Amino acid sequence: MSCTLCPRNCRVERGDTAGGGVCGMGTQPRVARAALHMWEEPCISGTRGSGAVFFSGCGLRCVFCQNEAISHGGTGETVSVRRLADIFRELEDQGAHNINLVTAAHFAPAVVGALDLYRPRIPIVYNSSGYESLATLRMLEGYIDIYLPDFKYIDAAMAAMLSGARDYPKVALEAIREMRRQTGPAVYDADGLMRRGTQIRHLVLPGLTGDSMRILTLIRDELPETPVSLMGQYTPCGRALSISGMDRKVTKKEYARVLAHMEAIGLSGYRQERSAASGEFVPAFDGTGVRNICHTDAGCVSQ
């Protein structure tokens, strides 16, 4: 296929298992982990966990990505659309509150195909960098109950330096508007779990508190009544370790300044504890839950 699934519009031919675009992936989904995940917002993880499916590859390529092993390195295992549908069913059977598709844009047709084969009775979450094509989002309309996008940058030069995407601020704003159009306002059940809606995540970056406050103000003005999750978990890793200013964590004072602004302008949502700024919260991308191993005398089990 000549791929235009993400805003890069690489238009490269992607084979079944390999491709030459920015994401580096083929058309068949590659998954690094499929398991109950407790480290999302409380309205997503709940008490039993979110059924997180971590896809390999990414079209954004942030220098500070904590999931670098899969987003840049491509760690993972190629699965069929049928197997992906079975993974959704297995996570539902394990008690997941939702199916959480983590960075799935470059596999959107396969995701749609899998959901056509099996639609779980729990919400489908689209966990995104915010760098999304409107055409791809419209392909997903009716399949996604909850959008969980990042809003990373408001400055084009910073987006270019840290993610190679100068157009990120404009693209993300338009994408989140489309997500909101599809889901409507946030809806929660009696236990506080999100059933439908869009929730924006923003990660505070070191030295960029002014940009963070501008983003929060933009959300209030352009995306009113959209809940926000403010994150202080930035942990320097990968290429960020060699970039001056990005090679340190966010200070307590920096995070407090942005949080105070969020509260002052009346944005609702969540605040992350700064103790989350640790590599300990990055899951093991070891293929958990990806394979289905069949034993002749004991049936099939996922591994």
Q: What are the distances in angstroms from CA 205 to CA 150, 162, 209?
A: 13, 11, 7
Question: What tokens were used for 134?
Answer: 């409107």
Q: Are the beta carbons of 285 and 71 closer than 8 angstroms?
A: no
3-class DSSP state of 128: strand
CB atoms inside a 10 Å sphere around CB 268: 11
Q: Are the beta carbons of 141 and 192 closer than 8 angstroms?
A: no
Residue whose structure tokens are 């403010």? 230
What's the pLDDT tens digit per position in 152-180?
A: 999 999 999 999 999 999 999 999 999 99
Burial of 69-107, coded b for 16+ CB within 10 Å and e otherwise, reads bbbbebbbebbebebbbbbbebbbeeebbbbbbbbbbbb
Q: What is the pTM of this model?
A: 0.94
CA dist., res. 290 & res. 208, Å (int): 38
CA dist., res. 187 & res. 198, Å (int): 9
What's the pLDDT tens digit per position in 89-120?
A: 999 999 999 999 999 999 999 999 999 999 99
Percent residues over pLDDT 70 in the chain? 93
Residue 15 has pLDDT above 50, yes or no: yes
Percent residues over pLDDT 90 in the chain? 86
Tell me phi and psi for residue 262, to 5 degrees.
-55, -45
Q: What are the distances in angstroms from CA 200 to CA 83, 118, 157?
A: 30, 28, 22
pLDDT of the residue at 2: 87
SS (H, E, C) 203-243: ECCCCCHHHHHHHHHHHHHHCCCCCEEEECCCCCCHHHHHC
